[in-house]
Chain A
Amino acid sequence: MQFDLDEDRALLKSSTRELLEKESALADARTVIEESAEGYDKALYAQLGELGYGSLLLTEDEGGMGVLAFAAVLEEMGRVAFPGPFLDLALAVRLLSQSEAPEAAEWAERAAAGEALVVLARLDATSGSPTRFTGGRVQGTKRFVPFGAHADALLVETGEGLVLVPRPGAGWNAVAQPTIDHAQRFAEVRFDDAGSLVAASDAARTLLEDADRLGAIGASALLLGLMDRSLELTVAYTMEREAFGAPIASFQALQHRCADGLLQTESTRSAVYRAAWAADETPDDAGFLAAVAKAWAGPAARYVCGQAIQLHGGVGFTWEYDPHVYLKRVKTLEQFYGATRDQLENALQSRGL
């Protein structure tokens, strides 16, 4: 038995940390998040594509490194609250590369290389009819499409299957859906566009189940990075900040809160890496373990990142300090990629309950 990453994956993790600290330190990332139109650094995504990050989630036979390596990279991205659709893009690449449709392979390649942004459009509008694909056209409305307004193509879930819709000449008919999480650029997209089927209903279901599982693991790994860094920042702050003539880190009330933070964070690490390892190695319980990881990671991260604001005191409530960036990311990641309540149900069902 061995919990540590093997040499290749450990190297990938440490070089990713170096790269992100250099190219996307939180101060720079915040400028991108708060000021850029797209919400991410396109040049940096192109660089990641060149370095092979776009195809990371593919199996080793397909030129990727598998789920465990992917989780290690996402943990690092979580630590710096890395802006943009990296997780969504990786899921789309994996999905496209599993499709047999001729267009799929080409888009998979371009997306993996960082030349095109492709993401999934899943959630139907709450009112109106579900999205359909008839006569070569997709019709309907999808909400909370991640970075949907800037995508070059969308993979749209319809009653007929998964449909690839390249951006129409006039651009998307999209309305931004700003949430508290500025790092996430959701859009509601109204479709009446030509598309091509990349997977019909049964095949689509299988592909989406796989995407759900990997999305849950990926989001959990991001949550792990977010809480890990958040706790680090918090402990460091309590060592510097003095009150009553001593660093506030010496007060037991704060120590116990931080100890709980470590318990939550390290337990998330155990759950996330076990789930990622299982996705590569033991498919039988991989679905259960993915649900466990995601159902645990969301509330755990919410606790740790919430306490980060509390233990920073007044400055924790300011825009200037960073803890809120983490707390906001946490909420998005908790609600998407299988919300906590849904994952609890998934966990029970995958245990035959």
Chain B
Amino acid sequence: MDLHFTPEQEQFRRELRAWLDANLERSWTEETRDPNHDADSLVELRRVWQRKLNAARYIGMGWSEEWGGRGASEVEEAILQEELTRADAPQVPNFLGISLLGPALIHHGTEEQRRRFIPKMLNCEEIWCQGFSEPSSGSDLASLRTRAEPDGDDFRITGQKVWTTFGPWADWIFVLARTDMDDRYGGISFFLVPIDQDGVEMRPIRQITGESEFGEVFFDGALAKREHLVGELGEGWRIAMTVLGYERGAATLAKPAEYDVQLDGLVAGLRASGKLDRPDVREQLGRLVIENEVMRSNGLRTLAQLASGHAPGPESSIEKIFWSEYAQRLSDSALDLLGPEAQLATRAQKTGSDVDWAYQYLWSRAGTIYSGSSEIQRNIIAKRVLRMPTA
């Protein structure tokens, strides 16, 4: 057993920190509090930030050099995400493209598709969103009904997608659509579809935070070119499931780092309000601190497993449940402990705590739903790890 990072990994971290010091002018928290910003200008700012990161070759780091990467390991990717979180850097707009579509094209796409799409994905010339979920197909994704019908050499897509994160700013969408209505898994294909065309309508959806960071997409005979089919017809499900697996590992250290920042904010608020010495408060705070550290221990273990060549398994469901439910406990507790000031819609300076708790309180409700709800994750653990039978 050895949980030390290698000297090369430590060196990577030092260089990254120096780069962030030199290149990140304002933290994301500061930017979002700037009254001169609106939703669109914040997206533009994120686009600029992605370009800076890309110029320094921090985007798609795990990919081969040919495709703009460094062939970096999962450990370096995890360190990158951890340091970006600690520095409170903006999230890049193309995170869905980078984490899902990029690997899909590299592993399953054609040479032409890679040449056409990867450079513009990396420098954020084209923003991607994901068209998987539908109004009637969420957890049971394979029941999706959006269909792609042949039209000459090409395809026409008809149907509806929903919970399309970053959809309102996206140029392209990668879509799972049915090319065979009867074959549940083998009838699904993977298409790349431009959004700016007749037959595609993107409507923003207002979320419980008041933002419209996701949307719904209506396809009415939208054109998907044959050359924009990824893999063979009917391979869409398999491709989607493999690329979802590539995400594993990257957030292992970033999540506890994110909550460390929030915990520091909570401590500052408790200190400012003179509550830090109360035994009941300390017990609750202690619980939050140790749970986050256990989460980090799980993350280091996953990373160590990846580093020693073990493929990520269904155990990653444990991590997903852990961080998403922890985020809710953390913000629930913070609102409880800090009192009504923590609920003031903006701004935490009222609580002496540099965290927008009210926003976190609402936002944390999303984590247990997206990317496989907590219930689905528990099904996965029961069936694939504990081998409990299906009813």
**Could you say which residues of chain A place their CB within 8 Å of the CB of B307?**
1-2
A245-283, CB < 8 A from B = 246-247, 249-252, 254-256, 258-260, 262-263, 266-271, 273-274, 277-278, 281
Is B205 in the interface zone, CB < 8 Å from A?
no
Is B99 in the interface zone, CB < 8 Å from A?
no
Which 5 pairs between the two chains have the least Cβ-Cβ distance? Answer: A344-B286, A255-B382, A1-B304, A259-B381, A270-B297
**Could you say which residues of chain A place their CB within 8 Å of the CB of B388?**
235, 238-239, 249-250, 254-255, 258
Interface contact A348-B318, CB-CB below 8 Å: no
B186-235, CB < 8 A from A = none
**Could you say which residues of chain B place their CB within 8 Å of the CB of A292?**
290, 293-294, 297
Q: How many residues of A contact B (CB 8 A)?
A: 50
Is B285 in the interface zone, CB < 8 Å from A?
yes
Known A-B contacts A2-B307, A255-B378; A296 and B389 likewise in contact (beta carbons under 8 Å): no
Interface contact A235-B386, CB-CB below 8 Å: yes
Highest count of chain A CB atoms <10 Å: which of B285, B318, B322, B388: B388
Known A-B contacts A238-B388, A263-B321; A353 and B267 likewise in contact (beta carbons under 8 Å): yes
A263 to B6 Cα, complex, angstroms: 29
Across chains A and B, the number of contacting residue pairs, with CB separation under 8 Å, is 146
Is B173 in the interface zone, CB < 8 Å from A?
no
Residues of A within 8 A of B (CB): 1-6, 9, 68, 235, 238-239, 246-247, 249-252, 254-256, 258-260, 262-263, 266-271, 273-274, 277-278, 281, 288-289, 291-292, 295-296, 341, 343-345, 347-348, 351, 353
**Could you say which residues of chain B place their CB within 8 Å of the CB of A258?**
381-382, 386, 388
Residues of B within 8 A of A (CB): 1-6, 75, 267, 276, 282-283, 285-287, 289-291, 293-295, 297-298, 300-301, 303-305, 307-308, 315, 317-318, 321-322, 375, 377-379, 381-383, 385-386, 388-391
**Could you say which residues of chain A place their CB within 8 Å of the CB of B293?**
271, 288-289, 292, 347
Known A-B contacts A274-B297, A345-B286, A347-B290; A262 and B386 likewise in contact (beta carbons under 8 Å): yes
A263 to B289 Cα, complex, angstroms: 18
**Could you say which residues of chain A place their CB within 8 Å of the CB of B300?**
1, 3, 270, 274
Interface contact A249-B389, CB-CB below 8 Å: yes
A46 to B283 Cα, complex, angstroms: 42
Contacting B303 at CB < 8 Å: which of A1, A9, A263, A267?
A1
Highest count of chain A CB atoms <10 Å: which of B276, B282, B297, B377: B297
Highest count of chain B CB atoms <10 Å: which of A3, A9, A68, A353: A3
**Could you say which residues of chain B place their CB within 8 Å of the CB of A1?**
2-6, 75, 300, 303-304, 307-308
A351 CB to nearest chain B CB (Å): 7
Interface contact B301-A270, CB-CB below 8 Å: yes
B86 CB to nearest chain A CB (Å): 16
A263 to B379 Cα, complex, angstroms: 12
Interface contact B3-A263, CB-CB below 8 Å: no
**Could you say which residues of chain B place their CB within 8 Å of the CB of A251?**
391
Closest chain B residue to A300 by CB distance? B294
Contacting A348 at CB < 8 Å: which of B6, B282, B379, B390?
B282
Contacting A3 at CB < 8 Å: which of B267, B291, B308?
B308
A168 to B360 Cα, complex, angstroms: 63
A348 CB to nearest chain B CB (Å): 5
Q: Specify the main secondary structure of chain A where it touches its partner.
A: helix
A262 to B378 Cα, complex, angstroms: 10
B330 CB to nearest chain A CB (Å): 15
**Could you say which residues of chain A place their CB within 8 Å of the CB of B287?**
295, 344
Q: List 27 A-B contacts (CB under 8 A).
A: A1-B304, A2-B2, A2-B308, A3-B300, A4-B308, A5-B1, A9-B1, A235-B386, A246-B389, A250-B389, A252-B382, A254-B388, A259-B378, A262-B318, A262-B381, A266-B318, A267-B294, A267-B318, A270-B294, A270-B297, A270-B298, A273-B1, A278-B3, A296-B294, A344-B289, A345-B282, A353-B285
A132 to B75 Cα, complex, angstroms: 54
A288 to B294 Cα, complex, angstroms: 11
Interface contact A348-B304, CB-CB below 8 Å: no
Interface contact B386-A267, CB-CB below 8 Å: no
A230 CB to nearest chain B CB (Å): 13
**Could you say which residues of chain B place their CB within 8 Å of the CB of A351?**
289
**Could you say which residues of chain B place their CB within 8 Å of the CB of A281?**
4
